[in-house]
Amino acid sequence: MSLAVKKYAEALINTAEEGNCLEEVYEEFTTLYTTLREDPFFPILLERDILTVSEKQDLIKSVFGEGNSYFRSFLLLLAERKHLDEVEDMYLSFRELYREKERILAAEVVTAAALTEELREKLVTALRRKYNVRLVELTETVDPEILGGMTIYANNEMLDASLKTRFEGLREHLKQTEIK
């Protein structure tokens, strides 16, 4: 991620915070990011030189005209400075800063079977305590290959309590144990 991407993300988060509209800007930026990821046509219009800067700004005004003025101004500035091609990376940087400010942890749990509601609540509570956060955004993935238990990815850490890993550890231990 380039330094410019981080600087734009920091500028937007600081401006939105000063304007008491951080949540609103986050929601609009998330919507734009999702649209860019799902709609194959929209990114081409914004990121490539199919449209002039003025046409891109008109498109932004028509799409985001009713939205947050700080966010709209941010996008217009990116169009003017020809940085719309970096808007997805800016979102990722913005989201990271937003989560830090709001004490939100993004975590992924991989299990062999879907979590029960009770286990999910216990896991979220444990993660909130461990990382001292206000909220946990939990993504759940079912992978029968892990056999049982779970693997948790959070805060650049991997907490592996899967049966597959335990069995592999046991197998290695048995390989190194001499039979007498």
Looking at residue 180, its pLDDT comes to 58
> Are residues 162 and 118 both part of a single domain?
yes
Residue that terminates a domain, selected from 70, 100, 130: 100
Residue 45 carries which side chain, given as an amino acid letter? L
The H or E element containing residue 123 is: helix 117-131
- Do residue 93 and residue 8 come from a single domain? yes
Q: What is the three-class DSSP state of 172? A: helix
Range of the domain at 59: 3-100
123 and 56 together in one domain? no
Q: How far is CA 45 from CA 13, 21, 84, 174, in A?
A: 25, 28, 10, 60
Tally of domains in the chain: 2
Mean pLDDT of 154-180: 77
* Cα angle for residues 166, 167, 168 (degrees, 5° grid): 90
- The reported pTM is 0.80
Report d(CA 24, CA 151) in Å as an integer. Answer: 33
Quick one: 136 and 84 in the same domain? no
Predicted confidence (pLDDT) per residue in 8-51, tens digit: 999 999 999 999 999 999 999 999 999 889 988 888 877 777 88
Q: Which residue has the tokens 């998330």?
A: 30
